[in-house]
Chain A
Amino acid sequence: MDTSVAYLVLAAVIFAIGAVGLLVRRNPLVMFMCVELMLNAVNLTFVSFGDDMGDLGGQLSVFFVLVVAAAEVVVGLAIIVAIMRRRPRASADDLSALRG
């Protein structure tokens, strides 16, 4: 079996698990972790394609995805801290304050 195809399938499996977790779990922190899973699956795809095609662009994209993910986690966790401080035990379904 060709290993590059196996890498892509593995990334697809991790992405799907992350997507299901995002839909099923209601704890905002765990939902965030599922988003990280999906981002990592995409990173694995980037690196795999970059290696197959002999292109540095894959690794370059992963670098930028990492930085943006770090920024996203920082802001997201700050929002969660702010919400949990006002309403302990809040689940993702309670956060409708921005609804129009």
Chain B
Amino acid sequence: MNAEILTFAIAGAFAVVGALGVVLARNPVHSALFLVQTLFSIAVLFIAKEAYFLAAIQVIVYAGAIVILFLFVIMLVGVDQSERLDIEPVVGIRPLAVVAGGALLAGLVTVILTVEEATGTGIIPIDPDATDIEQLGDVLFTDWVFAFQLTALLLTIAVVGAVVLARRPRGDLQPMPEPAPLVVEYHRALAAEDAGPADDGEAAEVEVEEADE
């Protein structure tokens, strides 16, 4: 077994386990940590595919900045309590979602296995003598400089938008409109559930009895 296949097998297995962990973990903090695992494995695969600069960026920007931002928000808004995964939010959505995901995967794999192998030279051929960071910088600051500046503009707008959105509103702002009746009912039900654990216990007992029958 050569090194490339071994690297792919290990990093790929870690990536898939991490992805499953993001979806299945009950606690959002655990989801974020599983996400780090997947992102790091994908960085390893980038190195195997000779994209060294992107691997570094992947670790620094994704695993370093974005996941830390996620953890920061989880701690800030205090939603680190576990979600109750035993309650299905919309009846029947889970089997449907798994079927849809399976169909999506089957379609993608069919396309991958049936199309002809991608070969030939592209629009911007890679120069094997130069490093990838050299070539990326070359292209970014000549042919793609307009797109590059647009991303700078996008980031500026995003930062301003984030500051405006997350600023704590002071006095004079217009009050938020009343939530829809359905939402009010939902929160009343949640509050009742918090206040009276007895109700919850009874409901659970009823469910158990039904299961016994």
Q: B49 touching A15 by the CB < 8 A rule?
A: no
Tell me, rounded to whole Å, the shortest Cβ–Cβ distance linking B188 to chain A.
Answer: 13
Query: Does chain A have a CB within 8 A of B192?
Result: no
Task: List the A side residues contacting B5 at CB < 8 Å.
Answer: 3
Q: B23 touching A73 by the CB < 8 A rule?
A: no
Q: Scan A14-45; emit 1 where CB is below 8 A from any B CB, else 0.
A: 11111111011111011011101100100110
The total of Cβ contacts below 8 Å across the A-B interface reads 251
Pick from B117, B119, B180: contact of A96, CB under 8 Å: B180
Task: List the A side residues contacting B73 at CB < 8 Å.
Answer: 29, 77, 80-81
Q: Which of B51, B90, B119 has the most CB of A within 10 A?
A: B51
Q: B28 touching A53 by the CB < 8 A rule?
A: no
Number of interface residues of B (CB under 8 A): 92
Q: Is chain A's interface secondary structure helix, strand, loop, or mixed overall?
A: helix
- From known contacts A14-B15, A89-B79, A96-B183, infer whether A74 and B49 are also in contact, taking CB-CB under 8 Å: no
Task: List the A side residues contacting B79 at CB < 8 Å.
Answer: 27, 29, 84, 88-89
Q: A23 touching B31 by the CB < 8 A rule?
A: no
Residue ID in chain B nearest A36 by CB atoms: B35
Task: List the B side residues contacting A19 at CB < 8 Å.
Answer: 100-101, 104
Identify 27 residue pairs between A and B in the complex whose beta-carbon atoms are under 8 Å apart, listed by A's number.
A6-B12, A7-B49, A17-B16, A23-B96, A47-B49, A47-B54, A50-B51, A51-B51, A53-B120, A54-B125, A56-B135, A60-B124, A60-B136, A60-B144, A67-B151, A70-B155, A70-B158, A73-B70, A74-B69, A74-B162, A75-B165, A78-B163, A81-B73, A84-B77, A91-B89, A93-B186, A94-B183
What 10 A-B pairs are tightest by C-beta distance, nearest first? Answer: A55-B122, A21-B23, A20-B101, A23-B97, A71-B158, A84-B77, A12-B108, A78-B165, A16-B105, A78-B162
